[in-house]
Chains A and B, each alone.
Chain A
Amino acid sequence: QLQLQESGPGLVKPSETLSLTCTVSGDSISSSDYYWGWIRQAPGKGLEWIGSLQYSGRTFYNPSLESRVTILGDTSKNQFSLKMRSVTAADTAVYFCANTKGEPFYFDNWGQGTLATVSS
């Protein structure tokens, strides 16, 4: 059973970089056909897709966030990460990592989420 667990600092200062990691157990992030993604939910708001990492290393980003976001995979640790630069209070959210196999248009396996707060 594939399991995902988010981790990272709960508090980030405005204008700094938010860094989160998703640790995967149960399969390799480089296994064929997998897509690994980040989704967030700001307080009182809906879900927002941030971006996805294909098993090959190719990345895909939400156009509204693309200029500030980088998703990378680390096969040695079987993790993938999210870096979001120049954060503001509007980036305060619960961040979920998730994955799917085959089609990149949905996520059928999710982590529990981690709250990241942007505040000075």
Chain B
Amino acid sequence: QSALTQPRSVSGSPGQSITVPCSGTSSDIGAYNYVSWYQHHPGKAPKLILYDVSKRPSGVPARFSGSKSGNTASLTISGLQADDEANYYCCSYAGSYTFGLFGGGTKVTVL
């Protein structure tokens, strides 16, 4: 399987909303509702912020939301904050026990 496709970078001003798309195929994102998103500040452990497309783990602010349409999943960050500046990775189940097909990552910059 090929990695999921994400834009290299997305930027926004504090308080704005941004959306990070993650494009896959009918064999991964399009086939299963097992899309997750991770926030990764360099040098730290990645943090799960969304799973099963749109569910938030305990403690993750409601500013982070997820959706899926066809073969594309999206992460939306509302009310952008300085601490949201990080790399974001999408991940999907790809069938046949391939649990983690990741995207290449998107650097979110808060202007």
Task: Let me know if A111 is at the binding interface, CB within 8 A.
Answer: yes
Chain B binding surface, main DSSP class: loop
**Chain B interface: which of A10-18, A42-50, A75-83?**
A42-50
Would A106 and B51 count as touching, CB distance under 8 A?
yes
Interfacial chain A residues near B65, Cβ < 8 Å: none
The tally of residues in B whose CB lies under 8 Å from a CB in A reads 28
How many inter-chain residue pairs (CB < 8 Å) link A and B? 71
Would A106 and B48 count as touching, CB distance under 8 A?
yes
Contact with B99, one of A47, A105, A110, A112 (Cβ below 8 angstroms): A105
Task: Let me know if B72 is at the binding interface, CB within 8 A.
Answer: no
Task: Let me know if A8 is at the binding interface, CB within 8 A.
Answer: no
Question: Please, how many angstroms separate the alpha-carbon atoms of A84 and B36 in the complex?
Answer: 26
Task: Let me know if B89 is at the binding interface, CB within 8 A.
Answer: yes
Interfacial chain A residues near B91, Cβ < 8 Å: 47, 49, 105-106
Chain A binding surface, main DSSP class: loop
The tally of residues in A whose CB lies under 8 Å from a CB in B reads 24
Interfacial chain B residues near A47, Cβ < 8 Å: 38, 40, 46, 89, 91, 102, 105
Kindly list 18 other residue pairs between chains A and B, CB separation below 8 angstroms, not including A47-B38, A112-B44.
A46-B89, A46-B102, A46-B103, A47-B89, A47-B91, A47-B105, A49-B101, A96-B46, A103-B52, A105-B52, A105-B91, A105-B93, A106-B34, A106-B36, A107-B46, A107-B100, A108-B51, A111-B45
